[in-house]
Amino acid sequence: MPHRRLSPSRLKALDTVVIYADTSRPWMIAAYACWRQGFTVGTIYATLGEEGALFGINQSKCKAVVRQQALKVASWWRDSSPRWPQLSALATAHRPGLSRG
């Protein structure tokens, strides 16, 4: 599944967006952006690890996940995404000044 932008066309007010990241400036920016669009924010801290993230995403029934750039989720995301048909977007929060390549 390619990375997609969180947009009103895919999400509606009160949909849950999970932020999977360490608490940081990009985390706060993502949370504020979600709140401004009327989304409910759920948090899964990076310290929970892969198993905790998978459990939290499944239990939250979220529509989108914003992940921290440094967290490597590509392999388990690709393998697990069919289990979450409710997900419509995966976005990446970047730290200012870092390469996005």
Q: Are 13 and 38 in contact (CB under 8 A)?
A: yes
Pick the CATH number of 16-93 from 3.20.20.70, 3.40.50.980, 3.20.20.80, 2.40.240.20: 3.40.50.980
pLDDT of residue 14: 92
Q: Are 65 and 17 in contact (CB under 8 A)?
A: yes
Say how far apart CA 100 and CA 21 lie, in whole Å.
Answer: 17
pLDDT of residue 100: 47
For the chain, 101 residues long, give each residue's pLDDT as a single digit of tens.
344 455 556 788 899 999 988 888 888 988 999 999 999 999 988 888 778 888 888 889 898 888 876 666 556 566 656 666 677 777 777 666 554 44
Query: Taking the model in full, what pTM does it have?
Result: 0.74
Say how far apart CA 24 and CA 8 lie, in whole Å.
Answer: 25
Strand ranges of the sheet holding 16-20, from the earlier edge strand across to the other edge: 40-44, 16-20, 64-68, 89-93
pLDDT of residue 46: 80
